[in-house]
Amino acid sequence: MTLVHHPDLELMQGDDWAISATLIDANGVAVNLTGAELEWALVGPDGNPVALAEADATITVISPPTAGLITINLANSVTSTLDAGRYFDTVRVFVTGITTDWLGNILVDASAFEA
């Protein structure tokens, strides 16, 4: 299976994050998200998963679900706890037993407003 990588993202520590994505398969076709279960994970600069509660990151499927569009939202109260550095993220999509991964890099910039 070919993994689909998203373009690198650069986000600010302590800001609200809204990460928009179009999930596509290895053939470039939008993943039909009708009835899908989605998970998002973030791995820190140290190579370890960031401990996020399920409520810390919400994934919204944008209508119509056949277009493969999602938004991942994190509140500033969550992103303010992240250290500056290069992170790796991935979305896992479960549709009728098939798992599709979407992954890439996020550069978290240090904020002058966070301690």
Domain boundaries, the chain: 4-109
Query: Do you know the residue count of the chain?
Result: 115
CB 51 within 8 A of CB 43: no
Res 76 pLDDT > 60 = yes
Of the listed ranges 2-11, 78-87, 91-100, the least confidently predicted one is 91-100
What percentage of the chain has pLDDT greater than the value 90? 71
What fold, for 4-109? Immunoglobulin-like (2.60.40)
No. of helices (H) and no. of strands (E), the chain: 1, 8
pTM, to two decimals: 0.89
Beta strands, E only, 1-115:
4-5, 9-12, 17-22, 37-43, 57-61, 69-74, 85-95, 98-109
**Across residues 80-87, what is the average pLDDT?**
95
Supply the pLDDT for residue 100.
73
- Residue identified by tokens 């053939």 is 27
What pLDDT, on the 0 to 100 scale, is given for residue 86? 97
